[in-house]
Structure 1
Amino acid sequence: MPPAPVDVIQGPSLLRTPAARPHPSLLFLPGLRSLPFWTSDSPENSTQPRRIAYNDPMVTKVVEYLESNVDTIREEYLRVAPTMNSDYDGLQDHNNKDNSKLHEGQWDWYTYLSKGNIQGHFVLKFPETSRIINEGLRQSNNNHQLFEGTPFGFSFFSSLGPDAKIAPHNAPTNLRLRIHLPIVVSSSKKEDGDDNDNDDINVKTGLPYCGIRVANSIRSYQTNKALVLDDAYDHEVWNDTNETRVVLLVDIWHPDISQTEKEAIVGMFQTAKQNGLWRR
């Protein structure tokens, strides 16, 4: 007999299926549209526009806007970041729920938005990137897309060193979508005697040298091509190349959440903050 698809126990019954579903670690809002990736895959050097899930106009607008400004963002990062210290260690707990370290290897942050709050030092050091995010994602005419006002909102340059990896984990909530805008990417790792015809694929693992898995979907990073993902799904990142991979990470509100709901959610977290349940 095939195994029963449901375990009936005292209390809620448990449905067991192989389907990957979002399961954020802290806060789940039912009824939101959900896919591991909201951007379609595309071949390297393809000139065809990528499809956005559900043809969502708000997500499409953000992707097109960030990609149109990627050269300015990259130039500023390459000029300024080498003069700064990483703020990775000072901004949040980087452990998994089982208290194991979230990553192996070098992982540096340069942070614009941390726990829902704009970071003044970033605005001073990266004025052009700050302006781009501010003008394109924060005003009312942009539906206040930037995921501000909650302890789960982040935006930062994520610099993942050679042979580094970020372990599988889940976001704390499904209220957001996460965008990775790759600005510095190496897609291969040539070794002495390596006769691999496909430089993008690591023959030892069968995976892209520099990639990300969300649920059961795997994508490689391609310079200038934004990835939109729902990080409430189990996901992991790796960089098996000889060079540092850099993305601008931007959290935006899930497009199914209305402005009225955004204000109510932010109000809920502000009340929690006033009561000492959320510290900046």
Structure 2
Amino acid sequence: MLPTFMNQKKSKIDSILANIANLIENGLYDTALADYRRLYQQAPSFLEPSEEFSITKSQATHIHNAANLARRDLIIKTKSICSTKRIEESVSALCGLSQKAFDKQHQSPSFLFVPQLPSSPFPSIDSVENLRDFIQQLSYHKGYFLSCVSKVNEKYIHDIDEVPDTQEWRNLTKCWNSLHLMKGGKLTPVGETLPDEIKTIIRSPLLADCPEHAPEIVISVLDAKTKIPPHFGISNIKWTLHIPLLVNELSYIEAAGERQYWTQDKEALLFDDSYKHSAENGADEKRAVLILDIWNPHLSIEERSDIKALMELYSKWSSDYGSLASLDRRLYK
């Protein structure tokens, strides 16, 4: 016999499930989804049981229903985001309605991909209007950013997308560190202490303003004799700008097989991190750079607005129902 509290819990779950079944039968899908969310919060093991437990037919049905309703919710909420065909295709792939069709070799962003968006592994700084002036304005404050290097204390590898569970990547957590000044479009506590002059500069429309996806502004420090293995960024809607703080001619970035070293005359490096890329500091001293997210300049104003709206919707949806959307992966193994 089950203890009283377990009987009460089972009775509560059965009551929620009966109500959900009735809601679905009557086409009240949004309310049913909200109830699945409540069920997941109160009894997560019912919708996401451990691998060692078998799943009943009824349980599998509810897992499928919860995941399908969550995905349906995202599709409905984003269907009006379609200023151009390529944005429409991007939204479709994000919602799982179509496959991402990468159109450039070595390019495979893990999260958001806008097809037919011009790019190259290392775009010219002059290909972005006003970017050279922006770099010069920030470089004027290099002394301030250098003074921040001693405060670097975050494990940067924890802030990039999922990486392989290998010893090489695990070792990197000890020798690749960062200090975020802006994260997901919001100034961090350290960023709030930036001089007003710098705050004014980073309000530039060049920054890929689409919270919580971007922009990020971070000081990245790579220890001596350290290599970052090849990996992909999470989207192709932004380019990555590196402004040198402490660099040497034995450090480089490689993207899509093309390598750019930090020569003395290089005022910045601009690259598209949706391509497979890596980096290495081959010197005996640290390498430090200031990193910023810049819009891919080939996105129109309307497309940028769409992406910003999409990221706002996706962030809210992910917080509410994102965990439900992938519950049925186990059932397809």
Aligned partner of 1:117: which letter? Answer: K
Aligned partners of 1:20 and 1:216 also within 8 Å? no
* Contact 1:94/1:102 (<8 A) preserved: no
Aligned pair 1:75/2:143, yes or no? yes
From the superposition, tell whether residues 185 and 251 of structure 1 become closer, same or farther in structure 2 (CA, over 3 Å). same
Instruction: Verify the 8 A CA contact 2:152 2:219 in the aligned structure 1.
Output: no
Distance in 2, matches of 1:184 and 1:118, equals 23
1:119 matched to 2:193? The reply is no
State yes or no: 1:175 paired with 2:237.
yes
Q: Is the 8 A contact 1:178 1:231 kept in 2?
A: yes
2:207 equivalent in structure 1:
146
- Name 2:252's counterpart in structure 1: 211
- How far off its partner does 1:261 sit? 1.6
* Structure exhibiting the larger radius of gyration computed from Cα positions: 2
C-alpha separation in 2, matches of 1:164 and 1:35: 26
**Equivalent residue of 2:202, what SS?**
helix
The CA distance in 2 between the partners of 1:146 and 1:94, in whole Å, is 20
> For the residues of structure 1 that align with 2:156 and 2:108, how far apart are their CA atoms?
26
Query: Following the alignment from structure 1 to structure 2, what is the Cα–Cα distance between the partners of residues 264 and 66?
Result: 27
Q: Name the one with the larger strand percent.
A: 1
For residues 80-99 of structure 1, what are the structure 2 equivalents within 5 Å? 80-82=148-150, 84-88=151-155, 92=159, 95-96=162-163, 98-99=164-165
Per the TM alignment, residue 260 of structure 1 is displaced from its structure 2 partner at its CA by 1.8
Helix, strand or coil at the partner of 1:276: helix
Task: Quote the sequence identity (%).
Answer: 22
1:184 to 246, 257, 265: 246
Amino acid at match of 2:226: A
* Residues 103 and 166 in structure 1, CA contact (< 8 A), matched pair in contact too: no
Match 2:135 to one of 46, 49, 66: 66
- 2:288 matched to which residue of 1? 246
Q: CA 1:103–1:123 in structure 2 vs 1: closer, same or farther (change >3 Å)?
A: farther
- Per-residue deviation, 1:251: 0.6
Please tell me the residue identity of whatever aligns with 1:219. Q
Change (3 A) 1:236 1:90: closer
The amino acid of 1:265's aligned partner reads I
How big is the shift at 1:271?
1.5
Counterpart in 2 of 1:49? none
- Two-structure CA RMSD over aligned residues (Å): 2.9
**Counterpart among 131, 141, 158 of residue 220 in structure 2:** 158
Q: Distance between the aligned counterparts of 1:32 and 1:94, measured in 2?
A: 22
Matching residue's letter, 1:221: W
Q: Spell out, residue by residue over 1:209-265, the C-alpha distance to the aligned partner (whole angstroms, 9 max, x if none).
A: 211110021110135511111111100000010111111111111111122221221
Report the CA distance shift for 1:89/1:80 in structure 2 as closer, same or farther (over 3 A): closer
Task: Tell me the residue number matched to 2:305.
Answer: 263
Verify: 1:37 aligned to 2:78, yes or no. no
Following TM superposition, where does structure 1 have runs of at least 4 consecutive aligned residues deviating by more than 4 angstroms? 125-128
Does residue 237 in structure 1 map to residue 279 in structure 2? yes
CA contact (8 A) 1:117 1:149 kept: no
Q: Structure 2: which 5+ runs fail to align?
A: 1-97, 323-333
Cα shift readout 1:80-127 (whole Å, capped 9, x = no counterpart): 332x2523369625641x334277351121112213333232231565
Return the alpha-carbon distance in structure 2 between the equivalents of residues 20 and 90 of structure 1: 25
- When normalised by structure 1's length, the TM-score is 0.68
How far apart are 1:275 and its partner, in Å?
A: 2.4
Q: Is the 8 A contact 2:156 2:176 kept in 1?
A: no
Residue 223 of structure 2 aligns with an amino acid whose one-letter code is G
In 2, the alpha carbon distance for the partners of 1:219 and 1:265 equals: 30
Q: Deviation of residue 277 (structure 1)?
A: 4.0
Equivalent position amino acid for 2:268 in 1: A
Q: Distance in 2 between matches of 1:241 and 1:33?
A: 34
Supply the distance in 1 between the matched residues of 2:171 and 2:291 (Cα, whole angstroms).
17
- For the Cα contact (< 8 Å) 1:103–1:164, is it kept in 2? no
Q: Which has the higher contact order (CA 8 A, sep 6+)?
A: 1
User: Which segment is superposed worse, 145-154 or 247-256?
Assistant: 145-154
Residue 6 of structure 1: aligned partner: none
In the aligned structure 1, how far is the partner of 2:244 from the partner of 2:186?
Answer: 23
Question: How many aligned residue pairs are there?
Answer: 216
